[in-house]
Chains A and B, each alone.
Chain A
Amino acid sequence: MSKVLKGSAPTDSEVILGILNNSEVVLERLYVAYFPMVLQLIINNNGSTDDAKDIYQEAIIVLYNKIKSGDFELSSKLKTFIYSVCRRLWLKRLNQMSRFDGDIKDFQDHLPVEDEVEKQTDRDLQFTKMEGALALLGEPCKTIIEDFYMHDRSMQEICERFGYTNADNAKTQKYKCLQRLKKLFFQHNQEERKI
């Protein structure tokens, strides 16, 4: 069924409802519908198809989080919103690479979306730090933390998986692992600040 609908863009309210209900089909239709628009923007402004993928996914995540957080008001078309976020992100990227020559070729109307993009950038920074801290954590801590805090597995399951003789030992291990992770994360934070 999703194949049949692929070609047509979902309506804006369909998208909002779909994302709120974690609909895989709606997400796919949304993604497929607006990717060409963003690809056009990026490849005609000194970007590659990979750049287009990165930028577009980031924009979809901005939209996704905005809808999930419930503060999305349908004040403009989703299409315009996505285009504006991508445009803003791409300008930022071009500036970072010093490839921006002060002239961007536009294909759509766009809105000011600086706040959304800034928020997203801050969050991305936090995630990058978390990724780094987890990578430094080592096994079995990494799996224990991921199982318990990220995949919502119970202590019982974790006990069995790692062969701890009692749940208390497992709990102690988990506690130690979390303290280590926090230390790594905040240390990382401080290092970042110094730079």
Chain B
Amino acid sequence: MNDRQLHDEIERYLNGEMSREERLAFDVLRKDNAEVGRQVNEHRQFVGLLKQYNERRELEQRLNAIHQEIDVHALKEELTDRPSWVVQLWRNHHSKISVAASIAIFAMLGTLFFTGYFAGHDSNYTQLRMQLENYKRSTDKLNRSTNALLHDIKAGKRVIEPAKFGGTGFAVSANGYVVTNYHVVNGADSVYVQDAAGESFHARVVYTEPQYDVALLRIDDSTFKSQSALPYTLKRTQSDLGEDVYTIGYPRNDVVYGKGYLSSSTGFHDDTTAYQVSIPVNPGNSGAPLLDNKGNIIGIISGKQSLMEGAAFAVKSEYLLKAIKNMPVDSANKKIVLNSKNTLASLTRAQQIKKVQNYVYQIKVYSH
């Protein structure tokens, strides 16, 4: 039997066109011959699928015909969930709206931050007190074991922690009086001054004039020895616009020189007690001396304008002199003997700096 004949037989068998005898014989063949059995099943399934496919097509046509009768558009109008337009807008665009809102908030906070809105005090004025290593300090503290600390205390060792704030100061007399900004030492628990050689001395705040941002310290450390006479003097008169000026201070752990010119005879917001100076200064420069060409101290660096580059401010030396005069004198605070002889005038700038830097201190402030 060839394929064609087998196919015909299978069709006749499946369509029930066989006689009883033929049928019985085919049943036997089907059972005995697995290939025939497989072909019977395959044919039945295939023809069945054709029939079902046809039924499906007819059903789909019927359904489509029914569907034609329905007014879908009217139904749609009726059934669309129409929340208020705000809700709809939110549903359709909530991701976009969220992103836009985040950007807006971020931009606003960023702007406020950079314009110094959060600075609390006057937004454009930056005091140049250095905020030193806050984080390092707290970690160090945690790391240091209690035992080691106790041991140190018993042995009477001085525990030197990094300072919380820093600034600059300079000697106004050979016997240990140092001047700096009031805002540098404000709120201090203890103050140390460190000279150019790296020696630290304990100092005490003996007098302040907050209105001029001036503070006088006295070094009261036993290891401190009086210095030789100061090379500079404090200028008693106003300096002129355009004068070349320079400063040396401690915006970092090493002394830094900065050069500029006197750009205005009044300070921030027309403050007559200060100069405006065009000079590069940074946090830590607060309290640094401002010297002119001849080595006269004409002011104390106190701050800068945050939005304007190169606009620093310095308290005029005449207010420092006033503060020195106003300081009460008693047994503890000896009178400040001001230097009257300037030994810098004939020196080059580099030589001046070499001398002056011995009288300029890094101020280290500790508070809790």
Chain A residues with CB under 8 Å of chain B are 24, 27-28, 31-32, 35-36, 39-40, 43-44, 49, 52-53, 57, 60-61, 64, 105, 123, 126-127, 130-131, 145-146, 149-151, 171-172, 175, 178, 182, 185
B8 A171 Cβ-Cβ under 8 A? yes
Q: Is B67 an interface residue (CB 8 A)?
A: yes
Asked whether, in the complex, the Cβ of A182 is within 8 Å of the Cβ of B46, the reply is: yes
Of B46, B47, B66, B76, chain A has the most CB atoms within 10 Å of the CB of B66
Any A CB within 8 A of the CB of B72: yes
Flag whether B147 is at the interface (Cβ < 8 A).
Answer: no
**B349 close to A (CB within 8 Å):** no
Would you call A145 and B66 a contact (CB within 8 A)?
Answer: no
Identity of the chain B residue whose Cβ is nearest the Cβ of A53 in the assembled complex: B67
Partner of A57, one of B8, B46, B63, B75: B63
Contact B54 A126 (CB under 8 A): no
Query: Closest residue of chain B to A48, judged by CB?
Result: B76
Inter-subunit contact A130/B49 (CB<8 Å): yes
The reply to whether A61 and B66 form a contact with Cβ atoms under 8 Å apart is no
Q: How far is the CB of B360 from chain A (nearest CB, A)?
A: 66
Is A43 touching B79 in the complex (CB atoms < 8 A)?
yes
- Residue contact A150 to B51, C-beta cutoff 8 Å: yes
Tell me whether chain A's interface is mostly helix, strand or loop, or mixed.
Answer: helix
Q: Which parts of B76-117 form the interface with A (CB within 8 Å)?
A: 76, 78-81
Pairwise interchain contact B54-A36, C-beta atoms closer than 8 A: no
Contact (A31, B81) CB under 8 Å given A130-B49, A150-B51? no
Q: 9 closest A-B pairs (Cβ-Cβ)?
A: A150-B54, A40-B79, A149-B50, A31-B66, A44-B81, A130-B53, A57-B63, A49-B72, A28-B66
Nearest Cβ in chain B — how far from A5, in angstroms?
13
> B67 near A39 (CB under 8 angstroms)?
no
B interface, by DSSP: helix, strand, loop or mixed?
Answer: helix
**Number of B residues with CB within 8 Å of any CB on chain A:** 29
Interface code B23-47, partner A: CB below 8 Å = 1, 0 otherwise? Answer: 0000000000000000000000011
- From the candidates A32, A40, A131, A172, name the one contacting B53 in the complex (CB within 8 A): A131
Query: B220 in the interface, Cβ–Cβ < 8 Å?
Result: no
B54 contacts A151, C-beta separation under 8 Å: yes
Q: Is the CB of B67 within 8 A of A57?
A: yes
Q: Which residue from chain B places its CB closest to the CB of A127 in the assembled complex? A: B53
Residues on B with beta carbons closer than 8 Å to the beta carbon of A64: 59
Chain B 158-200 interface mask (CB, 8 Å, partner A; 1/0): 0000000000000000000000000000000000000000000
Q: Is B334 an interface residue (CB 8 A)?
A: no
Contacting A at CB under 8 A, from B60-77, are 60, 62-64, 66-67, 69-70, 72-73, 75-76
The yes or no answer to B4 lying at the interface (CB within 8 A) is: yes
| Sample of 17 A–B contacts (CB below 8 Å) | A24-B62, A27-B63, A31-B66, A35-B67, A36-B78, A40-B79, A43-B76, A49-B76, A52-B72, A53-B72, A57-B60, A57-B67, A126-B49, A127-B52, A130-B49, A130-B53, A182-B46
B7 close to A (CB within 8 Å): yes
Distance A133 CA – B43 CA, assembled complex (angstroms): 16
Q: How far is the CA of A172 from the CA of B46 in the complex (A)?
A: 19
Minimum CB–CB distance from A25 to chain B (whole Å) comes to 11
Q: Of all chain B residues, which has the CB nearest A149?
A: B50
A166 to chain B, nearest CB (A): 15
Q: Contact at B50–A60, with CB atoms within 8 Å?
A: no
User: What chain B residues lie within 8 Å of A35 (beta carbons)?
Assistant: 67, 70, 75
Interface: B322 (CB within 8 A)? no
B46 touches A32 (CB 8 A): no
Structural contact, B62 and A27, CB atoms closer than 8 A: yes
* B70 engages A175 (CB within 8 Å): no
